[in-house]
A and B are shown apart, each in its own frame.
Chain A
Amino acid sequence: MEYALSTIGSYPRPEWFRDYLRKQEGLQKDSRGVVDESYMKAVGEVLGEQRNAGIDLLTDGQLLWRNMLCHLYDNMEGFRLSGLIRYFDNNMYYQMPEVVGKVERKKSLILDEYIAACSVEKKIKPVLSCYSLVDLSRNKFYGDESEFLMDVAGVMNQEAKALADAGASIIQVDEPSLLYADKEGVEAAGEAFEVLTKGVDSSFILATYFRDAKTLYPEVLDYPFDVLGLDFVEGLDVNLNIIKEHPTKKIIQAGVVDGRTTLMENPSKVKELIDSISGLVSGEKLFLSPNTGLEYLPYVKASEKMGVLSASVD
């Protein structure tokens, strides 16, 4: 079995960069951080941490994202931000976006961040989202929720094309909300993903986290993704069972260390988990990652966590 180590998306900001952004943006203002010299230094540090830990497929750490996935809305037309709301079961909050007009992509969403990160390191996977964005926001414009979803998917498709043109050979789509969706939602998401991926010359990863993926099966197997990301920390037993019951040619991206606790797993225990997953998948390749982004951790603990991951496959 061949292993590729990856991170999920977010990474804690270096302390000095946090202070810098705080000065730039203030504690509440809606302004958005920009790709500048300081950002380049910060992204360099975060990519360096990942490289040192032996990560093969890196992310830029989403260092400018103020609003978790909802950062993607910042540059879209049709939105405004409202009050703070809890992000899943985390002690972390985001400003709920409200859609008040037609969703459109007037400028790129994360392209500048992707290009900046690529100037430091080539093996970057940019992160988009679609169903979860719609789910995490409040619709005050569209009469029909599915129209809203399709418009967001259309914007994401344009962004994905731009990313692919800029060299992104693999793009991740984060969809934690899908794990809480009903059958109708799972089907609607499938249609949105067809739109999102259409005509994009790139591979796609679907990332899910915070719980097991039983709501997604079997529909997820028909989704246009090459890699399926599953959380084997929160959804361990169910997800092991699922991949056993539903063999697939798709590659699994297995979240095998807990991105939300400073407790460091024993690498030999993680290895046991990886072995049991390996025994259940048919392909020759397995992506391994923390189950979530690492920004839930203090900076010093994020690299330690990646260290556990790489030690487990040594």
Chain B
Amino acid sequence: MSDKILPTTVVGSYPKPKWLNQLIREHSAGSIPDEVMESAYSDSIKAVVKEHELAGVDILWDGEMRRDEMTSYFADHIDGFTIYGEARVWGNNYYRKPSIVDELSYRDELTVSEYRNLRGLTEHDIKVPITGPYTIVDWSFNEHYRTKEDAIYALAEVINHELKALVKSGASFIQIDDPAIPTHLDELEIAKNSVEIATNGVEAYTGLHICYGDYSKMYPAVLDFPVDQLDLELANKGFQDISIFREHDFTKDIGFGCLDVHTKRVESVDEIKDNIRKAFEIVEPKRVYVDPDCGLKLLSSQVSFQKLTNMCKAAKELRDEL
């Protein structure tokens, strides 16, 4: 999709500025008017875009400033979902867990307005991340559909509608985020079907982001998913998964997670270069997209910026060497 060799990109989320988090809290407590909140979101996105540009990122996203979380944000905009309250994920971490209470149908834009807004802010290429139907259903309660599978396919139709609308608005690179796929390997076929439905007739370059899983159990089967790119988390596990992907011909482009987002340590340019070189053991350089393992939102802005800067420098140096 990209003309440049080793294009750099992000997976999606970026740390929210402290002032934005504060304003979100005050807004939900009712002490800040909607229009102020709206302009805060808008300004924070400008700041993120500038940071990404300064770091040297080629293919941008808006840092997901408007998304509180990757399930409920979408559920809030799709008919058939309701959210009764929060459910625990671990420790003191909770999320607003949606319930499917009626037939799922398209109501309003999920990502199109985010895309349009960003298009007006940068000349760079844009990648639009959207949570996959498999993951949204897996992280929701199902009150309506007879089976989980039925719910997933119904939601995949809704997502398909959105992806087509995105393409119509000019989007050319869409990433489906499906971190739940590796957690139920017995449902890989259902997950594949859901991606097939979601991307059917979508004239864009598509990627699939999967993380936190045992790739050995889903490879090479995952090559059958109808996407152009697999975006993988590799740094977190010290690149030990490379050997898995060498066993079969890797027939897709790779989004190569070369930064560990679970550590505050900023990897050096040389270290990242070595990391990226490992991708060449799997595919030729022109099929490699350089990015962090996952969204950066759990790190501080400073650390995120330094990591991205070093990553982009590393990609540039390698590009020059190749």
Contact = CB atoms under 8 A, between A and B. Distances in A.
Partners in one complex: yes
Interface of A: 12, 15, 18, 21-22, 25-28, 66-67, 84, 86, 89, 91-95, 261-263, 295-301
Contacts, number: 63
A298 B85 contact: yes
B184 interface: yes
Contacts of A93: 89-90
B91 to A, nearest CB: 5
A89 B184 contact: yes
A94 B90 CA distance: 6
Given A91-B139, A91-B183, 14 more contacts: A18-B92, A27-B93, A91-B138, A92-B89, A95-B90, A261-B141, A263-B99, A263-B141, A263-B143, A296-B88, A297-B87, A298-B87, A298-B97, A300-B84
Contacts of B99: 262-263
A301 B85 CA distance: 9
A26 B142 CA distance: 31
Interface string B99-142: 10000000000000000000000000000000000000011011
A301 B91 contact: no
A20 to B, nearest CB: 10
Contact of B92 (A26, A86, A301): A26
B138 A15 contact: no
B86 interface: yes
B37 to A, nearest CB: 21
A170 B89 CA distance: 30
A33 to B, nearest CB: 9
Nearest to B90: A93
Interface of B: 84-94, 97, 99, 138-139, 141-143, 180, 183-184
Contacts of B138: 91
Output the residue of B86, B139, B141, B142 with the most chain A CB within 10 A: B141
Give the interface SS of chain B, mostly helix, strand, loop or mixed: strand
Nearest to B94: A18
B201 to A, nearest CB: 31
9 contacts: A26-B92, A27-B92, A27-B93, A67-B90, A89-B184, A91-B138, A263-B99, A263-B141, A295-B88
Nearest to A94: B90
A66 B92 CA distance: 7
Output the residue of A89, A94, A95, A262 with the most chain B CB within 10 A: A262
Nearest to B83: A298
7 closest A-B pairs by CB? A298-B85, A263-B143, A93-B90, A298-B84, A262-B141, A262-B99, A22-B92
Contacts of B87: 12, 296-298
Contacts of A298: 84-87, 97
Nearest to B97: A298
Nearest to B143: A263
Given A91-B138, A91-B139, A15 B92 contact: no
B137 to A, nearest CB: 11
B18 to A, nearest CB: 15
Contacts of A89: 184
A28 B264 CA distance: 15
A300 B142 contact: no
A86 B179 CA distance: 13
A308 to B, nearest CB: 13
